[in-house]
Amino acid sequence: MKSLWWKCLCIALLLYALFVGMLTPLKPGILNISPFLVSSGERVSMEVEAYNVEAGKEWQAYLKKDSLSYLKASAVELTNGKFKIDFEIPSHIPSETSLQALTLLITDERNGTLVYPEGIQLKSSTNESTSSWLKEGHPRLYKKEGFLFPYRNILRETIRNMYYHVPLWFSMFILFFAGMMCSIWYLKTKKIEYDHRASSLIYSGMLMGVLGLITGSLWAKATWGAYWTNDMKLNMSAVSMLIYFAYAILRSGTEDIERKATLSSAYNIFAFITIVPLIFVLPRVADSLHPGNGGNPAFGGEDLDNTMRAVFYPAIIGFTLMGVWLGQILLRIKRIKEKIFFNKIDF
Protein backbone atom coordinates (compact mmCIF):
# COMPACT_ATOMS: atom_id res chain seq x y z
CA MET A 1 0.00 0.00 0.00
CA LYS A 2 2.88 2.32 0.84
CA SER A 3 4.27 2.24 -2.67
CA LEU A 4 0.87 2.72 -4.21
CA TRP A 5 0.24 6.40 -3.54
CA TRP A 6 2.42 7.80 -6.30
CA LYS A 7 0.88 5.41 -8.80
CA CYS A 8 -2.56 6.66 -7.85
CA LEU A 9 -1.23 10.20 -8.13
CA CYS A 10 0.10 9.38 -11.60
CA ILE A 11 -3.28 8.07 -12.76
CA ALA A 12 -5.10 11.04 -11.21
CA LEU A 13 -2.78 13.59 -12.82
CA LEU A 14 -2.95 11.96 -16.26
CA LEU A 15 -6.74 11.71 -16.09
CA TYR A 16 -6.85 15.36 -15.00
CA ALA A 17 -4.64 16.34 -17.93
CA LEU A 18 -6.84 14.37 -20.31
CA PHE A 19 -10.19 15.63 -19.06
CA VAL A 20 -9.37 19.26 -18.40
CA GLY A 21 -7.03 19.43 -21.39
CA MET A 22 -9.63 18.09 -23.79
CA LEU A 23 -12.84 19.58 -22.41
CA THR A 24 -11.89 23.18 -21.65
CA PRO A 25 -13.12 25.31 -24.54
CA LEU A 26 -10.94 27.74 -26.44
CA LYS A 27 -11.45 31.48 -26.48
CA PRO A 28 -13.02 32.83 -29.66
CA GLY A 29 -10.73 33.55 -32.57
CA ILE A 30 -10.47 34.44 -36.23
CA LEU A 31 -10.10 31.70 -38.85
CA ASN A 32 -9.56 33.76 -41.97
CA ILE A 33 -10.10 37.14 -43.54
CA SER A 34 -11.06 38.02 -47.07
CA PRO A 35 -9.97 40.19 -48.72
CA PHE A 36 -6.70 40.47 -46.83
CA LEU A 37 -5.19 42.98 -49.25
CA VAL A 38 -6.54 46.51 -48.94
CA SER A 39 -5.30 49.80 -50.31
CA SER A 40 -5.36 53.30 -48.91
CA GLY A 41 -8.27 55.57 -49.61
CA GLU A 42 -10.72 52.77 -50.35
CA ARG A 43 -13.88 51.66 -48.63
CA VAL A 44 -13.53 47.96 -47.94
CA SER A 45 -16.06 45.39 -46.75
CA MET A 46 -14.36 42.39 -45.19
CA GLU A 47 -15.72 38.96 -44.57
CA VAL A 48 -14.16 37.42 -41.46
CA GLU A 49 -14.72 33.81 -40.46
CA ALA A 50 -14.76 33.45 -36.69
CA TYR A 51 -14.30 30.44 -34.43
CA ASN A 52 -16.18 29.74 -31.21
CA VAL A 53 -18.05 33.06 -31.07
CA GLU A 54 -21.37 33.53 -29.37
CA ALA A 55 -23.85 36.31 -29.92
CA GLY A 56 -22.23 39.49 -28.66
CA LYS A 57 -23.49 42.61 -26.97
CA GLU A 58 -21.85 45.26 -29.03
CA TRP A 59 -19.12 44.40 -31.50
CA GLN A 60 -16.32 46.81 -32.28
CA ALA A 61 -13.53 46.22 -34.79
CA TYR A 62 -10.19 47.93 -35.19
CA LEU A 63 -7.28 47.80 -37.58
CA LYS A 64 -4.07 48.25 -35.65
CA LYS A 65 -0.95 49.62 -37.30
CA ASP A 66 1.10 50.09 -34.17
CA SER A 67 0.35 50.72 -30.55
CA LEU A 68 -0.62 54.31 -31.35
CA SER A 69 -2.50 54.06 -34.63
CA TYR A 70 -5.87 52.34 -34.70
CA LEU A 71 -8.62 52.54 -37.30
CA LYS A 72 -12.16 51.96 -36.13
CA ALA A 73 -14.59 50.02 -38.32
CA SER A 74 -17.66 51.87 -39.48
CA ALA A 75 -19.89 48.79 -39.21
CA VAL A 76 -19.57 45.31 -37.69
CA GLU A 77 -22.16 42.60 -38.15
CA LEU A 78 -22.13 38.96 -37.04
CA THR A 79 -24.25 36.35 -38.82
CA ASN A 80 -23.73 32.58 -38.57
CA GLY A 81 -20.23 32.86 -37.19
CA LYS A 82 -19.20 35.24 -39.96
CA PHE A 83 -18.42 38.91 -39.52
CA LYS A 84 -19.05 41.55 -42.12
CA ILE A 85 -16.82 44.49 -41.26
CA ASP A 86 -16.63 47.79 -43.12
CA PHE A 87 -13.54 49.94 -42.98
CA GLU A 88 -12.95 53.29 -44.55
CA ILE A 89 -9.22 53.27 -45.07
CA PRO A 90 -7.84 56.82 -44.93
CA SER A 91 -5.90 58.03 -47.94
CA HIS A 92 -3.00 59.01 -45.74
CA ILE A 93 -1.05 56.23 -44.13
CA PRO A 94 1.52 57.34 -41.57
CA SER A 95 4.32 55.18 -42.90
CA GLU A 96 7.26 55.17 -45.31
CA THR A 97 6.89 51.66 -46.67
CA SER A 98 4.34 51.01 -49.38
CA LEU A 99 3.16 47.66 -48.01
CA GLN A 100 2.58 46.94 -44.37
CA ALA A 101 0.87 44.42 -42.17
CA LEU A 102 -2.08 45.40 -40.00
CA THR A 103 -3.57 43.51 -37.10
CA LEU A 104 -7.30 42.98 -37.02
CA LEU A 105 -8.98 43.26 -33.62
CA ILE A 106 -12.64 42.48 -33.02
CA THR A 107 -13.87 43.07 -29.50
CA ASP A 108 -17.02 42.56 -27.49
CA GLU A 109 -17.86 42.49 -23.82
CA ARG A 110 -19.10 38.90 -23.83
CA ASN A 111 -16.64 37.34 -26.24
CA GLY A 112 -13.50 39.23 -25.35
CA THR A 113 -11.09 40.25 -28.09
CA LEU A 114 -10.48 38.28 -31.27
CA VAL A 115 -7.05 38.97 -32.74
CA TYR A 116 -5.50 38.16 -36.09
CA PRO A 117 -1.93 39.47 -35.93
CA GLU A 118 -0.67 40.91 -39.18
CA GLY A 119 -3.59 39.40 -41.05
CA ILE A 120 -4.18 42.31 -43.39
CA GLN A 121 -1.79 43.77 -45.93
CA LEU A 122 -2.20 47.48 -46.60
CA LYS A 123 -1.01 48.96 -49.87
CA SER A 124 -0.54 52.68 -49.63
CA SER A 125 -0.32 55.27 -52.35
CA THR A 126 1.17 58.56 -51.17
CA ASN A 127 -1.39 61.29 -50.73
CA GLU A 128 -1.92 64.46 -48.74
CA SER A 129 -2.59 64.06 -45.07
CA THR A 130 -6.19 63.81 -43.98
CA SER A 131 -5.68 61.45 -41.10
CA SER A 132 -8.55 59.65 -39.45
CA TRP A 133 -6.48 57.14 -37.49
CA LEU A 134 -7.30 57.11 -33.84
CA LYS A 135 -4.55 58.99 -32.10
CA GLU A 136 -5.94 59.28 -28.62
CA GLY A 137 -4.44 55.96 -27.64
CA HIS A 138 -5.57 52.46 -27.01
CA PRO A 139 -9.22 51.63 -27.78
CA ARG A 140 -11.21 49.70 -25.18
CA LEU A 141 -10.51 45.99 -25.68
CA TYR A 142 -12.42 43.42 -23.66
CA LYS A 143 -11.11 40.21 -22.17
CA LYS A 144 -13.15 37.04 -21.95
CA GLU A 145 -13.28 35.82 -18.38
CA GLY A 146 -13.34 32.21 -17.22
CA PHE A 147 -11.21 29.09 -17.46
CA LEU A 148 -10.49 29.04 -21.20
CA PHE A 149 -7.46 28.17 -23.29
CA PRO A 150 -6.11 30.88 -25.58
CA TYR A 151 -6.93 30.76 -29.26
CA ARG A 152 -3.82 30.98 -31.41
CA ASN A 153 -3.81 31.28 -35.17
CA ILE A 154 -2.52 28.17 -36.96
CA LEU A 155 -2.49 26.22 -33.66
CA ARG A 156 -6.23 26.46 -32.95
CA GLU A 157 -7.42 23.34 -31.05
CA THR A 158 -4.01 21.69 -31.36
CA ILE A 159 -2.83 23.98 -28.55
CA ARG A 160 -4.07 21.08 -26.38
CA ASN A 161 -1.14 19.00 -27.65
CA MET A 162 0.90 21.11 -25.28
CA TYR A 163 -0.30 18.80 -22.48
CA TYR A 164 0.54 15.56 -24.28
CA HIS A 165 3.57 16.25 -26.47
CA VAL A 166 5.72 18.58 -24.39
CA PRO A 167 5.46 16.70 -21.03
CA LEU A 168 6.76 13.58 -22.81
CA TRP A 169 10.05 15.37 -23.48
CA PHE A 170 10.19 16.77 -19.95
CA SER A 171 9.65 13.32 -18.50
CA MET A 172 12.20 11.80 -20.89
CA PHE A 173 14.75 14.27 -19.67
CA ILE A 174 14.01 13.66 -16.00
CA LEU A 175 14.19 9.88 -16.53
CA PHE A 176 17.48 10.14 -18.44
CA PHE A 177 18.91 12.34 -15.71
CA ALA A 178 17.85 9.87 -13.02
CA GLY A 179 19.31 7.05 -15.12
CA MET A 180 22.62 8.89 -15.34
CA MET A 181 22.71 9.37 -11.58
CA CYS A 182 22.16 5.61 -11.12
CA SER A 183 24.98 4.91 -13.59
CA ILE A 184 27.34 7.17 -11.66
CA TRP A 185 26.30 5.41 -8.48
CA TYR A 186 26.94 2.03 -10.11
CA LEU A 187 30.46 3.05 -11.11
CA LYS A 188 31.05 4.20 -7.54
CA THR A 189 29.64 1.21 -5.67
CA LYS A 190 29.78 -1.56 -8.32
CA LYS A 191 26.43 -2.89 -7.11
CA ILE A 192 24.57 -4.46 -10.04
CA GLU A 193 21.25 -3.19 -8.62
CA TYR A 194 22.15 0.37 -9.68
CA ASP A 195 22.89 -0.77 -13.21
CA HIS A 196 19.48 -2.39 -13.37
CA ARG A 197 17.92 0.84 -12.15
CA ALA A 198 19.82 2.89 -14.70
CA SER A 199 18.91 0.69 -17.65
CA SER A 200 15.23 0.50 -16.63
CA LEU A 201 14.99 4.27 -16.36
CA ILE A 202 16.76 4.71 -19.71
CA TYR A 203 14.43 2.28 -21.46
CA SER A 204 11.29 3.97 -20.17
CA GLY A 205 12.85 7.35 -21.00
CA MET A 206 13.46 6.10 -24.54
CA LEU A 207 9.80 5.14 -24.79
CA MET A 208 8.89 8.71 -23.82
CA GLY A 209 11.37 10.13 -26.33
CA VAL A 210 10.13 7.99 -29.22
CA LEU A 211 6.54 8.91 -28.36
CA GLY A 212 7.65 12.54 -28.24
CA LEU A 213 9.00 12.24 -31.77
CA ILE A 214 5.81 10.57 -33.05
CA THR A 215 3.42 13.00 -31.35
CA GLY A 216 5.56 15.95 -32.44
CA SER A 217 5.43 14.69 -35.99
CA LEU A 218 1.63 14.49 -35.87
CA TRP A 219 1.43 17.98 -34.41
CA ALA A 220 3.81 19.31 -37.05
CA LYS A 221 1.58 17.93 -39.80
CA ALA A 222 -1.38 19.88 -38.40
CA THR A 223 0.46 23.16 -37.89
CA TRP A 224 3.65 23.32 -39.98
CA GLY A 225 2.20 21.30 -42.84
CA ALA A 226 4.66 18.39 -42.91
CA TYR A 227 5.40 15.35 -40.77
CA TRP A 228 9.08 16.17 -40.70
CA THR A 229 10.76 19.47 -41.36
CA ASN A 230 14.40 20.43 -41.43
CA ASP A 231 13.99 22.00 -38.05
CA MET A 232 17.13 21.81 -35.93
CA LYS A 233 15.27 20.62 -32.84
CA LEU A 234 13.63 17.75 -34.74
CA ASN A 235 16.84 16.45 -36.22
CA MET A 236 18.80 16.83 -33.02
CA SER A 237 16.19 15.04 -30.91
CA ALA A 238 16.18 12.24 -33.48
CA VAL A 239 19.98 12.07 -33.15
CA SER A 240 19.73 11.93 -29.36
CA MET A 241 17.26 9.06 -29.66
CA LEU A 242 19.81 7.26 -31.84
CA ILE A 243 22.46 7.85 -29.17
CA TYR A 244 20.25 6.05 -26.68
CA PHE A 245 19.44 3.29 -29.16
CA ALA A 246 23.19 2.75 -29.28
CA TYR A 247 23.03 2.32 -25.49
CA ALA A 248 20.50 -0.49 -25.92
CA ILE A 249 22.65 -2.11 -28.62
CA LEU A 250 25.75 -1.82 -26.45
CA ARG A 251 23.96 -3.61 -23.64
CA SER A 252 22.60 -6.40 -25.79
CA GLY A 253 25.97 -6.86 -27.49
CA THR A 254 27.93 -7.59 -24.31
CA GLU A 255 27.61 -10.98 -22.64
CA ASP A 256 29.50 -10.54 -19.41
CA ILE A 257 27.30 -8.88 -16.78
CA GLU A 258 29.96 -6.85 -14.99
CA ARG A 259 31.50 -5.69 -18.24
CA LYS A 260 28.11 -4.81 -19.65
CA ALA A 261 27.21 -2.79 -16.58
CA THR A 262 30.49 -0.87 -16.47
CA LEU A 263 30.58 -0.14 -20.20
CA SER A 264 26.97 0.96 -20.44
CA SER A 265 27.20 3.07 -17.29
CA ALA A 266 30.14 4.99 -18.68
CA TYR A 267 28.41 5.32 -22.04
CA ASN A 268 25.22 6.52 -20.32
CA ILE A 269 27.00 9.41 -18.62
CA PHE A 270 28.48 10.59 -21.91
CA ALA A 271 25.15 10.13 -23.70
CA PHE A 272 23.36 12.42 -21.26
CA ILE A 273 26.07 15.04 -21.47
CA THR A 274 25.81 14.90 -25.27
CA ILE A 275 22.06 15.35 -25.54
CA VAL A 276 21.98 18.50 -23.41
CA PRO A 277 23.64 20.68 -26.07
CA LEU A 278 21.91 18.74 -28.86
CA ILE A 279 18.40 19.47 -27.59
CA PHE A 280 18.79 22.67 -25.62
CA VAL A 281 21.70 24.62 -27.06
CA LEU A 282 21.96 23.97 -30.81
CA PRO A 283 18.30 24.73 -31.68
CA ARG A 284 18.64 28.07 -29.89
CA VAL A 285 21.84 28.97 -31.71
CA ALA A 286 20.50 27.92 -35.10
CA ASP A 287 16.98 28.44 -36.36
CA SER A 288 13.96 26.49 -35.17
CA LEU A 289 10.20 26.53 -35.53
CA HIS A 290 9.78 25.60 -31.88
CA PRO A 291 8.75 28.30 -29.43
CA GLY A 292 11.68 29.49 -27.37
CA ASN A 293 14.25 28.60 -30.03
CA GLY A 294 15.97 30.46 -32.82
CA GLY A 295 14.43 33.87 -32.21
CA ASN A 296 10.92 32.57 -31.57
CA PRO A 297 9.32 33.81 -28.39
CA ALA A 298 9.50 31.34 -25.52
CA PHE A 299 6.73 29.96 -23.36
CA GLY A 300 4.77 32.82 -21.96
CA GLY A 301 2.05 35.28 -22.77
CA GLU A 302 -0.65 33.68 -24.83
CA ASP A 303 1.42 30.60 -25.71
CA LEU A 304 1.30 29.33 -22.16
CA ASP A 305 -1.01 31.40 -20.02
CA ASN A 306 -2.06 30.57 -16.47
CA THR A 307 -5.01 28.40 -17.49
CA MET A 308 -2.65 26.28 -19.56
CA ARG A 309 -0.09 26.09 -16.77
CA ALA A 310 -2.80 24.61 -14.54
CA VAL A 311 -2.89 21.59 -16.87
CA PHE A 312 0.65 21.63 -18.25
CA TYR A 313 2.59 21.23 -14.99
CA PRO A 314 0.39 18.42 -13.60
CA ALA A 315 0.77 16.67 -16.97
CA ILE A 316 4.58 16.84 -16.67
CA ILE A 317 4.45 15.24 -13.20
CA GLY A 318 1.91 12.67 -14.41
CA PHE A 319 3.95 11.57 -17.42
CA THR A 320 7.16 11.47 -15.37
CA LEU A 321 5.51 9.24 -12.75
CA MET A 322 4.18 7.08 -15.58
CA GLY A 323 7.74 6.71 -16.88
CA VAL A 324 9.03 5.80 -13.43
CA TRP A 325 6.23 3.27 -13.05
CA LEU A 326 6.93 1.61 -16.40
CA GLY A 327 10.64 1.60 -15.54
CA GLN A 328 9.97 0.13 -12.12
CA ILE A 329 8.09 -2.84 -13.56
CA LEU A 330 11.01 -3.52 -15.90
CA LEU A 331 13.38 -3.22 -12.94
CA ARG A 332 11.40 -5.74 -10.92
CA ILE A 333 11.47 -8.19 -13.82
CA LYS A 334 15.23 -7.78 -13.98
CA ARG A 335 15.57 -8.37 -10.23
CA ILE A 336 13.50 -11.56 -10.41
CA LYS A 337 15.52 -12.77 -13.39
CA GLU A 338 18.72 -12.18 -11.49
CA LYS A 339 17.50 -13.89 -8.31
CA ILE A 340 16.35 -17.00 -10.11
CA PHE A 341 18.74 -17.46 -12.99
CA PHE A 342 21.86 -15.65 -11.94
CA ASN A 343 24.08 -18.71 -12.06
CA LYS A 344 22.47 -20.53 -14.92
CA ILE A 345 21.34 -18.26 -17.70
CA ASP A 346 22.87 -15.24 -19.38
CA PHE A 347 20.61 -12.26 -19.82
Partner 1 sequence: MKHSFCLILFVLGTSLLKAENGAFSDGKLLSVVLVFASILIGFFIYLFSLDRKLTKIENQIKDE
Distance of closest approach, residue 212 Cβ to partner 1, in angstroms = 9
Hey, CA dihedral for 74, 38, 296, 164, is it positive or negative? positive
Residue 141 or 248: which CB sits closer to partner 1? 248
- Choose among 31, 30, 32, 44: nearest CA to 122: 44
Distance of closest approach, residue 238 Cβ to partner 1, in angstroms = 16
Distance of closest approach, residue 182 Cβ to partner 1, in angstroms = 19
Residue 281 or 329: which CB sits closer to partner 1? 329
Residue 75 or 214: which CB sits closer to partner 1? 214
Strand order in the sheet with 112-123: 37-39, 112-123, 99-108, 60-64, 70-72
Residue 223 or 235: which CB sits closer to partner 1? 223
Distance of closest approach, residue 329 Cβ to partner 1, in angstroms = 6
Residue 13 or 63: which CB sits closer to partner 1? 13
Give the span between the Cα atoms of 67 and 92, in whole angstroms: 18
Distance of closest approach, residue 13 Cβ to partner 1, in angstroms = 14
Inter-helix orientation angle 192-223/257-276, to 10°: 40
Residue 186 or 219: which CB sits closer to partner 1? 219
Torsions phi, psi for 78 (to 5 deg): -115, 120
Give the span between the Cα atoms of 56 and 109, in whole angstroms: 7
Q: How far is CA 9 from CA 6, 100, 315, 331, in A?
A: 5, 52, 11, 20
End-to-end C-alpha distance for the chain, whole angstroms: 31
**Using an 8 Å Cβ cutoff, are 63 and 103 in contact?**
yes
Residue 12 or 22: which CB sits closer to partner 1? 22
Distance of closest approach, residue 154 Cβ to partner 1, in angstroms = 9
Distance of closest approach, residue 165 Cβ to partner 1, in angstroms = 6
Residue 148 or 187: which CB sits closer to partner 1? 148
Go through 205-214 and write b for each residue having 16 or more CB atoms within 10 A of its CB, e for each that does not: bbbbbbbbbe
Give the CA dihedral 206, 328, 173, 227, nearest 10 degrees.
Answer: 30
Distance of closest approach, residue 332 Cβ to partner 1, in angstroms = 10
For the beta carbon of residue 194, count every other beta carbon within 10 angstroms: 20
Distance of closest approach, residue 161 Cβ to partner 1, in angstroms = 5
Could you list the residues that contact partner 1 (CB under 8 A)? 18, 22-23, 26, 31, 49, 51-52, 156-158, 160-161, 164-165, 168, 204, 207, 210-211, 214-215, 218-219, 221-223, 322, 326, 329-330, 333, 336-337, 340-341, 345
Angle at 18 between CA 15 and CA 21, to 5 degrees: 135
Residue 71 or 172: which CB sits closer to partner 1? 172
**Using an 8 Å Cβ cutoff, are 236 and 274 in contact?**
no
Angle at 183 between CA 181 and CA 330, to 5 degrees: 95
Torsions phi, psi for 332 (to 5 deg): -65, -35
